Structure 1
Amino acid sequence: MTDPEAHEHTHEDAWRAILTGKARGLQLTRKLVGWIPAGPRCKLCLAPLKPPGSVLLKIVGFGPSRLNRRLCRACFRAVEKNPGGAEIELSFLFADIRGSTSLAEHIPAQEYSKLISRFYGKAAEVVDKQDGLVDKFVGDEVVALFVPGFVDGNPAEKAIEAARGLLRETGNDGGDPWIPVGAGVHTGIAYVGRVGEGDACDFTAVGDAANLTARLASSAAAGEILVSSSAAHAAELDTDGLESRTLELRGREGAVDAWVATAETLAVSPAEE
């Protein structure tokens, strides 16, 4: 007789191996397809998602998924068939448009829609460039995950670099921004995997770490990246000359320490490069 609890632990261990990049089958697939020239790749197996590379693999089921542009069909089916996930350490990036309510009030709805679409597009570009996963776009906010198994390098450093890139792409680097953006970056433990039931399922991350990052982002002024102390430590952030803040965040009992970074802040201490 199968022990349900043992089966659940086995399932969780499998997810943890995937999310931390230690799954042998996934490592082998990455090696096999990694040599194929490509632009965007599946965040799990590295299969090319656009021609010419995708043409070679489409016939064996590795073509781009129509339901999730960041995964190939094979990986998306695997995620669908294996509900669950695992608690792991990862880094989050939340970025908000500052003053979006007032902005929407003073320009036509169609113009506002185009502005938001442009913001979404720039966010997707910089997150993809740093090996992150766009978790969701919600109104005037973008949420991105930097999962160890999907990132080539340091997830916290990549999250900060993505935040810096987004500020530059939106003009929040000392000039006149075409849209004002502030961001928050945090590293912590969260449950990552397939969350939900039935048709209301998604690959996402949930937990206190996600909530804390959201609060950091909402506290950041335009042009600022509020980096939690844990993210700064994980990224080996050079904090010399950076402003430190102790924040009383809405909905949290204790204060949170953070560093204020900008588009031009070095993500890694020069001594560690």
Structure 2
Amino acid sequence: MNMFTSITQKVTAIILVSLVIGIGIVVLYFAYGQNKTLYVSTERNLYQQADVLYQSIKNAMLPGEAPLVVSLFEDIRNLETMYDVRLYRSNGIVAFSDNTTLERVNANLGVRKFQPKQILREGTAIENDVRFESVIKTGRTVSFRHTAEAKRYLTIYAPLLNLPKCTGCHGSDHTIRGMITISADMTPTVLQARNNIVVAALIFMVVVALLFLILSLFLKRTIIAPVQCIGHVASEVTKGNFREKVSIRTRDELGELGQKINSMVEGLYERFELSKYVSSSTLASIKHSEKGAKTDIALFFSDIRGFTSFSERVAPEVVVENLNTILTIQTEIIHRHGGDIDKYVGDEIVALFTGPFKEQHACLSALEIQTYIAAHPEELTHLTVGIGINTGEVILGMVGSEKRADFTVIGDHVNFASRLCSEAKGGRILISESTYQKIRDIAQVEGPSEMRVKGKELPQHVYQLTGMKE
């Protein structure tokens, strides 16, 4: 079972998804870019600090002023910066933790140029560190991130090269004298990055909500509301209410559509009103594009007696009012018994009955009409009708020109039914032999009597219908 989904829900979903995806990608891109810039900037600063420290250490150690380097490290630590700087020998032991390097330098020089120092640093040696071993072997700087004590760090391992001007003191049997480690506490940077993401998310939600609200209101006013208005008018038209109009004042495609819908409704209303003057058989013929065909039909003719003299005695508006009253009564009764009004000819009605019980329905209609008229003489100003009913094969089809035509019946049986109506006096019902034979078991009649009909060699049997058996 397919569930109904309104256009409002579809449009809302499309807008929401589009905004979330579109703005989400933009916000994510800028947040990522901002955080990446933050990390790259911090890492670049760390490398710059490493270069500065490297040059400081090199310049301090060339004249043999190791205490200056130790003081430099202590000063950096005492400043409580985000950096932690350490110097290690190539074997992983903290530099200046003893006088081993000093003794080796004196040995390489062949003289006791440097005296043991009292300013020594303490620290933990580096053991089983793959990155440290890589720096010592390759001489390439390594950077990496790690976590310690719930803090995030970025650490650089930079080699301290044994330059040619250093070989006089440190010997030429190695290229890497040691390694400088600089660790930067990245926790503030990480927190800032997280805050950036939170702020970006809040901005994203606010922007999406505002744009969603604005676009939803705009689409509802410019598209959804007009479509709903058109749908409402279409629904009312299907109920037969042609008074509703599409009220779209925008000068766009929907405005033009609304005008066309209103024009269509006006046209439908005109055709609906005109259908009152067209028989059901004509409408069915137009719908199915039927051509002429022979069919067996019970033909019903009724005519008001004394109407000509009545119309001469009273005012025209009274004539029309009384005529419409008696024709309306007959029409309702005929329709109730399944008949179709083929046409009104002045004060005459031509009706058609089809189906297996067409004769019975036509006769019941005639009896009910005569009963009603007889029971309401004052209402109908004492007017009476004569009715003729005949059954037979007729030609049913469109008769007329291309510009004006009617779907009606023609043939000898039509003429005979009309003649029966003409012969029937007020309050009487005359039926033909063919009609009587179909209802003889239930009909109450008088006759037969004979009637001469133009075009017929022999007189025709005619019966006066007086009632129907229960």
Question: Where on the TM-score scale, by shorter chain, does this alignment land: which range?
Answer: 0.5 to 0.7
Q: 2:459 maps to what in 1? A: 255
Deviations 1:175-217 (A, max 9, x none): 9963111100000110112222212211211111111000000
Q: 2:430 maps to what in 1? A: 226
Q: How many angstroms does 1:158 deviate by?
A: 0.6
Deviations 1:30-71 (A, max 9, x none): xxxxxxxxxxxxxxxxxxxxx99x639x9xxxx994433464
Q: 1:110 maps to what in 2? A: 317
The residue matched to 2:274 in structure 1 has which SS? coil
Structure 1 alignment gaps of length 5 or more:
1-50
Deviations 1:86-109 (A, max 9, x none): 101110110011122222222222
Q: TM-score scaled to structure 1, two decimals?
A: 0.65
Answer whether contact 1:195 1:202 (CA < 8 A) is retained.
yes
d(CA) in 2 for partners of 1:195, 1:219: 27
2:344 pairs with one of 117, 123, 137: 137
The residue matched to 1:171 in structure 2 has which SS? helix
> How do 1:46-125 residues align onto structure 2 when only pairs under 5 Å count?
55=239, 65-69=272-276, 71=280, 75=284, 77-79=286-288, 82-125=289-332
Answer whether contact 1:65 1:71 (CA < 8 A) is retained.
no
Q: 1:4 maps to what in 2? A: none
Q: Which has the higher helix share?
A: 2
| CA RMSD across the alignment | 3.4
Distance 1:253 1:139, change over 3 A: farther
d(CA) in 2 for partners of 1:68, 1:202: 12
Deviations 1:107-165 (A, max 9, x none): 222211111111111121011001111011111211100122xxxx5001111111112
d(CA) in 2 for partners of 1:241, 1:71: 31
> How do 1:32-51 residues align onto structure 2 when only pairs under 5 Å count?
none
> How do 1:232-271 residues align onto structure 2 when only pairs under 5 Å count?
232-236=436-440, 238=442, 242-249=446-453, 252-262=456-466, 265-266=467-468
Answer whether contact 2:280 2:341 (CA < 8 A) is retained.
no
Q: 2:363 maps to what in 1? A: 160
Distance 1:154 1:249, change over 3 A: same
> How do 1:16-35 residues align onto structure 2 when only pairs under 5 Å count?
none
Aligned identity (percent) is 25
Q: 2:42 maps to what in 1? A: none
d(CA) in 1 for partners of 2:282, 2:445: 47
Q: Indicate whether 1:199 and 2:403 are aligned.
A: yes
Answer whether contact 1:93 1:184 (CA < 8 A) is retained.
yes
Q: TM-score scaled to structure 2, two decimals?
A: 0.39
d(CA) in 2 for partners of 1:240, 1:175: 28
The residue matched to 2:292 in structure 1 has which SS? strand
Amino acid aligned to 2:396: V
Distance 1:228 1:73, change over 3 A: closer
Query: RCO (CA 8 Å, sep 6+): is it higher in 1 or 2?
Result: 1
Q: 2:372 maps to what in 1? A: 169
Q: How many angstroms does 1:75 deviate by?
A: 4.2
The residue matched to 1:249 in structure 2 has which SS? coil
- Tell me how many residue pairs correspond in the alignment: 206
d(CA) in 2 for partners of 1:130, 1:138: 21
d(CA) in 2 for partners of 1:141, 1:91: 17
Answer whether contact 2:392 2:413 (CA < 8 A) is retained.
yes
